[in-house]
A and B are shown apart, each in its own frame.
Chain A
Amino acid sequence: NAGVTQTPKFRVLKTGQSMTLLCAQDMNHEYMYWYRQDPGMGLRLIHYSVGEGTTAKGEVPDGYNVSRLKKQNFLLGLESAAPSQTSVYFCASSYSSQSLRGYTGELFFGEGSRLTVL
């Protein structure tokens, strides 16, 4: 059981380049999330999705786009990378209250994708 898998694990970009991070989960979770982790700031929510075909903005959405065309995948895109987007990105997934009775919201995380923008 792979859980939550992120690709790539490492990437170096030049300012202005674009790229896509892929998150895949095999737990049939309804909800998926993208967080970024920066030193001293913990994790901040970028975008999230409550189901296939739906996405919503989190705390720090600017400069990012997302898509959830399939239930198991959640893509995070950077259209024009900036040095401020240098970070470690984490994908997470969770059940919904509808899919698991009594579920209280624990998240399952991938191992992270380290992105450097020069």
Chain B
Amino acid sequence: AQSVAQPEDQVNVAEGNPLTVKCTYSVSGNPYLFWYVQYPNRGLQFLLKYITGDNLVKGSYGFEAEFNKSQTSFHLKKPSALVSDSALYFCAVRDPWVPTRDSSYKLIFGSGTRLLVRP
């Protein structure tokens, strides 16, 4: 069965410092991996995805993520954190097979990591 683990409930960083939010996954075959961000009282917004190709994926708002197949990880990174990056971040995984008419793009989400960037 597919699963995603986010080992840190909260990550604290100072503005201007690099940040890393960790994610590990378990899935048979090659995974499709996603990061979403949730700002207070808002829905989830798509940040970036890894499907295939380069292990370093760039996404919205200056975020990037590094796919590491040997460590089954997909950590979210940003070189210089902003206070406005403070939010809840979710890693998600999807089975890579193309769904048939009776299936769907079901995502399995991690438990979320709260990022707090202090001024």
Q: B105: which of A90, A94, A111 is its contact (CB, 8 Å)?
A: A94
Interface of B, secondary structure class, is loop
Closest chain A residue, CB of each to CB of B9: A40
Instruction: Kindly report which residue of chain A lies nearest to residue B48, judged by CB atoms.
Output: A106
Which of B14-22, B67-75, B79-87, B109-117 lies at the interface?
A: B109-117
Q: Complex Cα distance A111/B110, Å?
A: 19
Q: Report the Cα distance A107→B102, complex, angstroms.
A: 18
Which of A41-49, A60-68, A75-83 lies at the interface with chain B? A41-49
Q: Are B46 and A107 touching (Cβ within 8 A)?
A: yes
Do B43 and A111 touch (CB < 8 A)?
Answer: yes
| Contact indicator B103/A50 (Cβ below 8 Å) | yes
- Chain A positions within 8 Å of B104 at CB level: 31, 33, 48-50, 56, 94
Q: CB distance A109 to B41 under 8 Å? A: no
Residues of A within 8 A of B49 (CB): 104, 106
- Give A105 to B50 CA distance when docked, in angstroms: 11
- B55 CB, nearest partner CB in chain A, Å: 17
A105 CB contacts on chain B under 8 angstroms: 32, 34, 94, 105, 107
Contact B90 A107 (CB under 8 A): no
Q: Residues of A contacting B32 with CB < 8 Å?
A: 104-105
A111 to chain B, nearest CB (A): 5
Contact with B along A97-118 (1 / 0, CB 8 A): 1100000111111111000000
